Each structure stands twice: as C-alpha cells, then as structure tokens.
Structure 1
Amino acid sequence: MTADLEGGDWIRGITIRQPWATCILAGKTPENRPTNWPWRGWVLLHAGKAKPDPALLRDPLVATAIRGRELHLGAVIGVARLTDCHQDLEGAPLCSKWARPGAWHLVLADVQKLALPIPARGQLGPWKPTEDLVAQVRQQLPDLGS
C-alpha cells in the first residue's frame, strides 16, 4: 500500500439521505447536490440518520430501486468512485432520469455495497473518514483503492 493510501487523502465520505443512498446502490446516478464538488476519487457512501419521507418511498422510480432492500440509517453502506460533477445546460435534456434540473450532478462509478453496514457519523459536504473507519471498510473490500 502506498503512503498516499495510508494517509487517507485518496478517499472521502459523502452523507446521503435515505432513500437516495440505497438507490445509489441500486444504480442511481447522479447524486444531486446544490454546489460543485471539485474533489474526485473514492467515496464512502454514508446513509444519513434522518428517516426518509414516506411520500418518496412511493415514487415509482424510488420504489423500484429500493424494493427488497433495507434502508440503513447512520451507517456507511457502500463505496463508489466520484468521476465527475457537472450541471446540465439550461434547456438541455437531463443526463439521467435521476438528475434534478439546476442541481450539480455527482457522477458515481464502481459502486460496491458493503455486506455489513458500518455505523458511523457523517456530515454535510465531503468529509475525511477516520483511519479506523477506512480499515473497517477494507475488511469487507480488501482491494479498495488498490
């Protein structure tokens, strides 16, 4: 493992409200955000603690994505590579059925679900995970970042 990987600068955390966090594990991309994220690389997908709005769970797109999946709260539930962040041009077609007009779109690739969610605290914006948290993720995904 390189010094860069050991230092933790290669990975960040992103807290996402449910049901959107679970939708990402089911193939949702992009993740909509109010501001541009210049950082690129691996991100821990952290499901926020707030319970989801029941109306969202009935949305056909969401209901199909989360069917049969547990909506974990307050835990890292997966990882992905953040490869791009863009806004669709005004009047242009949206880049995805998940994209929201006017939002910045975080494009996620190589999404991997953790077999066992890891309880953790997140925060708004990209955050730097503790070495212990990254070690717990790597127990489940030993090839992450290599």
Structure 2
Amino acid sequence: MSTATLPEGDWIRGISIRQPYTACILTGAKTIENRPARWRTGWVLLHTSKTIDRPALHLPLIAVVGVARITDCHQDIEGAPLCSEWAHPGAWHLVLQDVQELPLPVPARGQVVPWKPKPDLLERVFHQLPGLRP
C-alpha cells in the first residue's frame, strides 16, 4: 500500500500509551484509555511511549505497534460506576475498537498530545495492513 491510496486530510492521529498498557489494548483485554482531556473520535496509531510502568516492563520498545479506532470519548458521571475496570475516575475515557496489531513494530517518535504522523510513517504502518480501509 502506498500513501497515495490513503485518505487525504486530517483523518488519523497518533496516541502514545505506556507499556504494558499498549500490549493490553492489542490483546483486547483493555478497551479504555484514560486521558486528562477530551479527544475526538476516529483512527489512531497505537504508539508505545517512552514513559513506562517500570515494574511491569524492563526494556521499552518505542514504536507504533498497532492501529485502533476511537469510537467514543466520555467521562463517567461522578459517583456512578466506572464504565470499565481500566477507567480512572475523573479522566476522559477513549473507547477503542477495531484494534489491529502490526506484524512488526515500526520505530517512531511520539508525543504526549495527539500527534500527526508523517506520510513515510503511515506508509510503513499501512504496508503491513493492506486490507485496512479507514
């Protein structure tokens, strides 16, 4: 797949997530990601961040490891049960669906805020997912 076959415009962002949580998302065990601010829905590259849960992971891999679609972004009502065992009270919860793991990680530099991936990164990611059509 080349970047010429990808949609034009501002349709995808990157999201950097600490390990081991990225791996939990890829396995389908974790379907909620907590953020301090509201996010828009749509496709995101799943990126393992430099910040890790050190007791849980010894050697971090800084790379894009998958793709997912944010289908909702909400906060739970104060005092109500949390929407997921992964949800943090007071945080914005990004609901992740259509998660697809890449066969091979693609090294990349991410950011804490939503970041726009460069065309060469998208080409390397979507080359591994030829059937994905956003």
TM over 0.5: yes
Partner of 1:95: 83
Structure 2, gaps ≥5 residues long: none
CA-CA distance at 1:43 after TM superposition: 0.4
Describe the SS at the equivalent of 1:7: coil
Residues 1:127 and 2:115 are matched in the alignment: yes
Structure 1, gaps ≥5 residues long: 58-65
Describe the SS at the equivalent of 1:128: coil
Runs (4+) of structure 1 exceeding 4 A deviation are none
Alignment of 1:74-89 (within 5 A): 74-89=62-77
User: Which residue, out of 23, 26, 31, partners 2:33?
Assistant: 31
How does the TM-score come out when normalised to structure 1? 0.81
The answer to whether the 8 Å contact 1:18/1:51 transfers is yes
CA-CA distance at 1:20 after TM superposition: 1.1
The answer to whether the 8 Å contact 1:14/1:127 transfers is yes
* Higher helix fraction (1 or 2): 1
Alignment of 1:10-21 (within 5 A): 10-21=11-22
What's the Cα RMSD here? 2.3
Distance 1:16 1:115, change over 3 A: same
Q: Hey, what's the Cα distance between the residues in 1 that align with 2:117 and 2:132?
A: 14
CA-CA distance at 1:23 after TM superposition: 1.1
CA-CA distance at 1:7 after TM superposition: 3.0
Encode CA deviations 1:40-61: one digit per residue, 9 max, x unaligned.
211000001234220xx3xxxx
How does the TM-score come out when normalised to structure 2? 0.88
The answer to whether the 8 Å contact 2:52/2:60 transfers is no
Q: Hey, what's the Cα distance between the residues in 2 that align with 1:8 and 1:47?
A: 25
What letter is aligned with 1:86?
H
State the number of aligned residues. 131
